[in-house]
A = this chain, B = another copy of it.
Amino acid sequence: MKVAILGLGVVGRGVYDIISSNFKDIEVKYILEKDESKIDDLKHLVVHSYEQIINDREVDVIIELIGGKKAAYDFISKALKHKKHVVTANKALLSEKFEELTELAKDKDVQLLYEASVAGAVILLDPLKKIREINQINKIEGILNGSTNYILSQIFLGNKSLADAIAEAYHLGFLEQGSDDDMNGLDSLRKINILSMICYKSFLKEENILRIPLSSLTEEFIKYVKEKGYIIKYISKSKIVENILSIKVEPVIIHQKSSFANIKFEENIVNVYGKYHLKQSFIGQGAGRYPTASAVVYDLLTIKNKSKYSLSFDKTYHVNNDEEKYRFLVQNKNKIYKSEFMTYSEVIKEKDLICFSRIEEELYEKL
């Protein structure tokens, strides 16, 4: 099997390393990378024209790791049209163009795989594609963003201030300079969107997801929660109850003994609830060169092995994020207070709202 890697950044290099040291029957024939400083030893594989790759009949698989939406969209759709299998970790593109790209791949009878796009190293999309046929999944919840989980861990375990934790995350490369996607929740939103589409067999739109940016939290709010002995986690959740879908990304106040509290630093967790089992949890590293690269190579093995699910997406749900009332901790310009039961729409309309967070069941009385 011959593959081309688009983008030789952190993950791309990891993919190259894993393939070349583990698989004699997979050959990296081309690398597309403009930044010559990244190429050094691999100059003989570098090409500058994508046309050369796409027109080479020997190339079976395009591995897209350049990120961003515009060029990646162009590369992936061209690859599928040329009947090349595609492996990508690009959650931003997938979340937005999932229907179009899925149908294009189906049309051309090739595979579009994206195990690395959700929860990095954690292998869950491949099993979920089968589990969804057996199990009628009705709830997914998880911590899907390693950067914000790192920051919250430093605040609640490492006892750092919000500002210091953010500064450290930048310093360590967990937060990207120039992108707010982690702190404003877009990264988590894309992942819960992809997970939900797969598990619920339905194409969903990003704009239907309720998203409370983590960056809305204030030092005072965090201090208040900390003093009560609780912690905040940035949780993504989607749920179906009788054809009504709710789907949210938000900070939640939880107990130190809650199972999410154990998911620390850059770790991710995904809990899936289905008709035939209560809960199945997938936990592991949400990011990093080799963890993410190994999920990319996992997809390559699926293609090499010719195993394929033809996934249908024939369900539709009515989206309603106000389907239930919750209790919230709310900060406005005068004070921090606990609300009575209310919907998200109602809490968002509170007077002088600065920030708010849902309170996990049973903590309300003690908060």
Contact = CB atoms under 8 A, between A and B. Distances in A.
Nearest to A267: B279
Interface in A296-321: 297-298, 301-302, 305-309
B130 A302 contact: yes
A185 interface: no
A134 B307 contact: no
Interface residues of A, number: 41
Interface stretch (A93-101, A191-199, A232-240, A286-294): A286-294
Contacts of A123: 127, 130-131, 280
A277 interface: yes
A135 interface: yes
A283 interface: yes
Nearest to A133: B301
Contacts of A135: 294
A194 to B, nearest CB: 18
Contacts of A298: 127, 130-131, 134
A126 interface: yes
A291 B279 CA distance: 10
A134 B20 CA distance: 11
Given A133-B22, A297-B134, A283 B280 contact: yes
A29 B122 CA distance: 38
Contact of A282 (B126, B282, B301): B282
A281 B282 contact: yes
Given A280-B123, A293-B276, A130 B301 contact: yes
A232 to B, nearest CB: 18
Contacts of A277: 121, 284-285, 288, 290-291, 294
Contacts of A308: 305, 307
Contacts of A275: 290
Contacts of A18: 134, 276
